[in-house]
Amino acid sequence: MRRVIAIVIIIAAVTALHYTTPTSRIVYHEVYNRLYYIPIILGAFTFGLRGGIVVAIAISLIFLPHIFFQWGGFHAGNINMVTEILLYNAVGAVTGLLVSMERRHRREVEETGARLRESLRELEEKTNLLIQREEELRQSERFSLLGEMSAMMAHEIRNPLGSIKGAAEILSDHFRKGEDGYRYTEILVKEVDRLSSVIDNFIRAGAPRREQTLPIDLNELLKELLFFTERVAAKGRVTVSSQYDPHLGLIRGHPNQLRQAFMNLILNGIYAMERGGRLTIRTEKSDGGIAITFTDTGVGIPEEAMTELFKPFYTTRESGTGLGLTITKRIVEAHGGRIEISSEVGKGTAVRVTLP
């Protein structure tokens, strides 16, 4: 809009100078003729071919009465003015055409650039997908090998479990209900039954069978696990504290699987504090679900290791198998949840499990 106003003002000013300056001052009029090129070029640069032609024609129509009434019309002495009018239109057309061509070329370049950026984005997505699929294939191969090994080992493990369970049941007869010894033997029997169930699944199908979902009180499940691991924590000089939301409510899930997942996280937190420390377990409602956070004051996890944590057989402990977090992640995701890990070297690690 500003350029349009500028064009109109320049044309009006030059025209006023033409009409008010005596024809005897030919040099002045020659200068005024040249000044008309300014709005013509400005119109062409602003509106392209159409702008250059429209402004040139407008100036020609304004300039013609000046030629007829003040310069005596078209004759040999005014041939330069007629030529000037032709040049106005030629300059307007050529300049406008060049500007339009340049703009068209620039649009084509921008469109080509946009298509290239889109192609690059699609290529990047496909590359990331390919990398993801390759990583999934590697993990699938690892789990396939793990399944074969587990199936072979299951037969060797199954028989001693019966003996362990029998011994635990005999020991329980020496304690009264409510005593620590009775609780320990009761937990031992439950864990043997759970391990037997896992082994049966491997033998029958080569993969874990889906359990029936049951209502689960996560607060009680965690209390049971902390009781079972309190001696491990004490041996490692680890103080365990808990903050349970009393209004947490129940969730539906597979008790044995969740017990295994949370046991892995508790033991990981304890083992991460070789010189002792504090493990805090917190339950709370979160976004329509339940969040369980395990926070330790251990050595922390280096940033470069964060992307490797859930890969099978990756471990930083000499005695570790590298399967705890992998199994835990699969169990959590099978329940429709997610697991997130944040860590700071030298300060500790927080593992947050969210379940619907």
Handedness of CA 163, 164, 169, 170 (dihedral sign): positive
Indicate the pTM of the whole model: 0.48
Question: In whole angstroms, how far apart are CA 25 and each of 17, 22, 65, 70?
Answer: 11, 6, 18, 12
In 3D, which of 305, 279, 303, 300 has the Cα closest to residue 344? 300
Q: Which amino acid is at 349?
A: T
Does 45 map to a domain? Answer: yes
Does 116 map to a domain? Answer: no
Same domain, 39 and 59: yes
Q: Tell me the per-residue pLDDT of 113-130, one tens digit each, with 9 for 90 and over.
A: 888 888 888 888 877 777
Q: Tell me the per-residue pLDDT of 62-109, one tens digit each, with 9 for 90 and over.
A: 888 877 776 766 655 567 777 888 888 888 889 989 988 998 988 888
* DSSP-derived 3-state class of residue 309: coil
Choosing from 171, 205, 239, the residue where a domain stops is 205
pLDDT for the residue 314: 66
Does 65 map to a domain? Answer: yes
Does 199 map to a domain? Answer: yes
Same domain, 343 and 219: yes
Containing structural domain, residue 144: 139-205
Q: What is the mean pLDDT of residues 30-50?
A: 87
Mean pLDDT (the chain) is: 81
Does 193 map to a domain? Answer: yes
Q: Tell me the per-residue pLDDT of 284-317, one tens digit each, with 9 for 90 and over.
A: 988 878 999 999 998 888 888 887 787 766 676 6
Same domain, 319 and 237: yes
Does 126 map to a domain? Answer: no
| Total domains in the fold of the chain | 3
Q: Which of 121-125, 241-245, 270-274 has the highest average model confidence (pLDDT)?
A: 241-245
Same domain, 146 and 76: no
Does 132 map to a domain? Answer: no
Does 306 map to a domain? Answer: yes
